[in-house]
Structure formats: C-alpha cells, structure tokens
Amino acid sequence: MEGDLNCRDIESEKDRDAVEYEVIQKDFTHEYSAASTTSLAADGGKRSTYITHLAANGSHSQLTAACSDNALAVFDWSTLQTITHLRGHTAKITGARYVPAKTAAVVSSSLDGTVRQWDTRTGRATLQHTDTTLQKPKPLTCVDVNAAGRFVCAGTEVVQDDSFLVFWDVRQPNPLGGYWESHTDDVSTVRFHPTDSGALVSGSTDGYVNVFDVTQTTEDDALQATLNTESSVSSVTWWERAGRRHLAVVLDTEELQSWDIEESERRGQFGRSDIAAAIRRTMYEVCYVEGCHQTASGDVLAVAGAVTKEGHGCLRLLRLGDSGLEPHALLDDGEDPAQLVRASVYCPATGALVTGGEGGVLTLWKPGAQPSGSNRRQSKAVHHRRSRHKQKPY
C-alpha cells in the first residue's frame, strides 16, 4: 500500500528525479528563488529546533513560527531576521494564527490546555484562554481566529470519550461554548473561511471533515456538511472557483483530496504515487504533501516534496488543475541536504512563500529567476457518525 514507508529499502536506494533536470525545468514553468534563509540551530549548530507551524499577519510584514521547544519565534517577513521570542507554553504548541487586521497579535494553542494571545511588540502574552468545564484543561490540538477577529476556535484531543471544538470571545478568558458531537477522535485542524466569519471547517483523525455555520445556535443546526475522507486528516484549506466553495484536504497518509462543499462530493483524489509522478520523482514512499494555498488568480498550489532518511530530496509547487496535479514551480536553492517541510505560509499579493520544517530552516521563496552567481543545481540524469454523548459541559 502507498502509505507503507517500509515496503522498500529506502536506506540503500536513493530517490532521484525521474527525468533529466532540463526536462523538469521545462515542465515547471514558474521560477522561484530563495530570497532569504535562516536556521533555528541551537548549541552551536549541533542541534536544531524544528518548526511545526507557521503564521503570517495580514500585511505579510511579520511571520511567527511555532517551534519544538514550546516557544514561538517571530520574524520579519522580508528578511527573516528575528524580532522576538514568545515563551510561556509548558507543552507542545499545536497551532498559531494572527488576529485578522492586527499586525502584532498572535494566538497559539498548546497541549498544556491554553490558547494564548501575544503582543509581538512586547513579546508578552496579553490574554490566556482555557476550558476547564470538565474540571481540568483540555489538551488543545489546533486553533484559528475568524475573519472578523472576534472569535477563537480550538480543537481538542479526546477527553472523557468526547472531542471538542471550543469557542472563545477574543476579549474573554472563559469559553462561550463548544461542539462535541461531530467528531469521535482528536480534532487535527480548524479553519475559518478567510472572508466569511461564520463559516468553519474542522478535520479529525476520525477521517471526517465537518463544515459549520457557527452563526446558528445549536451544533445540529450549525453542521452543514460531513465529508468522509476515509483517512486521518492533517490539514484543510478553503478555496473558491466560479463562486463555489471547495476544500483541499491533506491526509496523514500524504494523500491530497479536493472536495466540492455544496455537493458534498469528492472531485479529486491523489495518492503518493500521483504526487511522485507530478513532482517527477522515482520513489513515492518518500514523497509528501505539506499543504495547499490559493493564489490571487484563483489557482490552488500544493507544497510537495521528497526527502530520504539520508536527507536528500526536493521541494516543488504543484497546481491543482481541473485535470489533476500539474507542475508549477521548483523550489531549489542548490543546497543539499533537504529538510522535511512541516509548515508553509503564502502571500497571494506577491506569490511569495515561506517554508519551515524538521531541519529548523526557514526559507523565503520569491517568484523570479535565481540570483546571479547562485549555486543552481546541475542536471541529474536518471540511472535506471455521529453519536449522541451524555456530557454537556456548556
């Protein structure tokens, strides 16, 4: 099966480009170059703090990275120079988002059971949200803020047989309420619609993606659609085309699905072998999809790559077209080894992209030719259901 990483000996067999690199350059017609790069290496470079989540403010002047040391690192978007560090969480940080229309306000969720609001100008927390309706804080697994900047939503792990979507007013520490009947396993992602403040989507390791209208007064009325991906959900991205709302869903099996929300219908499904073919690599076992972004022109770009245990691989952008996945751009700074990218943020106005991952490296990619004198990689030839629960805490 495609999701089995052990079905081939990837220690002794190296992944490589499936065709000549000159052919790949012709296939990937959009040029990108690494404009800035920084490393979160610690202990004199011997150990790296890896990056798990990224968030950018609305003006794309500032960037925040959630790191494996339970801290947030704030950077200038254009230079990737460090602005400050935000410390206070006592367990793994599971999400970070800027408050819309505020350039220096970040919220973060953590398994310590708190959502914290931060002012990146002072480097301090300004408010802490918790939910102790079951006598102890619920471990929080993801977070988002709605388009109006008024409400925070966080998902939880399973607590006393229920998993929750918890809502707060951004001005208050205690929850407004929550949903607990729509998922049966840990909630892995929550995303408000980028412009419609009442539209929310959630994904879970139970394999379901739920679409809500949170302006409704009950969970039953709020639930608009339930989509069965048949696998654990990693991330969900809203996108629109011709006035219709869609979702791009990345699964923990490194598959990508496209859904029409209005029809509750899956329009496309791309497995690891499809990803490998689209990015022109020979071994699907080491290929992955990190996430998706919608461009200003309405296209959907998927950040995809390959990385072996030896640290070799590539990073590329694919376009989610009507006929499938199409090559879009190479993200190639001429450096080896590669890192497994775990997070990315995209600026629709400029087409710029920032990636971060397990190597602790943060890179700003900008559209345009490789700078003169850079170490551009040389050609490499091919050698061969819902259930009713009794708990009602709100």
Which tokens go with 324?
């499938």
β pairing state of 82-87 and 105-110? unpaired
Phi, psi for 192 (deg, rounded to 5): -75, 155
Q: Which residue segments constitute the domains of the chain, with CATH numbers given?
A: 61-228 (2.130.10.10)
3-class SS at 28?
coil
Is 377 a residue whose pLDDT tops 70?
no
The pLDDT assigned to 384 comes to 32
Across 54-63, 97-106, 312-321, 362-371, least confident range: 362-371
The better pLDDT of the pair 391, 54 is held by 54
Please tell me the distance from the alpha carbon of residue 252 to that of residue 3, in angstroms, as a whole number. 9
Across 3-17, 157-171, 375-389, least confident range: 375-389
Q: What is the DSSP string of 325-385?
A: EEEEEEE--S-SS---EEEEEE-TTT--EEEEETT-EEEEEEESPPPTT--PPPP------
CA distances, 105 to each of 57, 97, 379 (Å): 8, 9, 45
- Over residues 78-103, the mean pLDDT reads 97
Is 188 a residue whose pLDDT tops 70?
yes
